[in-house]
Amino acid sequence: MTRSSAPLQIRRDAEIYAASGGWFQARWHFSFDRYYDPSNMGIGKLRVFNHDTLVPGAIWPAHPHQDVEGITYVVSGTFEHADSLGNGGVLPAGSAQRMTLGSGAWHSERNHSKIEPMQFIQMWITPSRRGITPSV
C-alpha cells in the first residue's frame, strides 16, 4: 500500500468556505461550485469534502457528474437519492452510499423529510481510470 506524502493540514472553522441558498447550507472544504481557490483543490485523490444541510423537503436538483467516485454519509435526517441509471432510495442517518460516475450520470439529492433538516457529508475521489461504467 502506498502512503500519501501530503502534509497534515489544519484548517480552522473560519477558514472553511460557507455557502447558503435559502434551502441549503454548506461547508465546502475544497474548491467547489462557485468557491474557487487554486491553492485548495483537494488533497491527493480526495477532490471534494462537503458538509451540506438541506431544509425539510428540499431537493438538490438533478445534475451531471463524470469521472468521480462519490461517497455520501448521512449525518442526520433522511437522504433520498435518484439517478439517471434508474437507481433510487432512501438512506437513514448513519448510512453511507457509494457512487461510481465514470462515463457520466445525472443524480439528485433530496431531504426525504418534510419536517426535519437533513445533513450529509459528501466526498469525491478521483478514480485511477477515466470512463468507468457508472454504478451505485
Higher pLDDT residue, 104 or 47? 47
Q: What is the length of the chain?
A: 136
pLDDT of residue 25: 97
Higher pLDDT residue, 136 or 86? 86
**How much is the average pLDDT of 111-118?**
98
Residue 94 pLDDT > 60, yes or no? yes
Q: Looking at residue 16, what DSSP letter applies?
A: S
SS3 53: strand
Instruction: Assess if CATH 2.60.120.10 describes domain 16-125.
Output: yes
The reported pTM is: 0.89
Q: Where are the domains of the chain?
A: 16-125
DSSP assignment of 64-106: EE-SEEEEEEEEESEEEEEETTS-EEEEETT-EEEEEESS-EE
Higher pLDDT residue, 101 or 48? 48
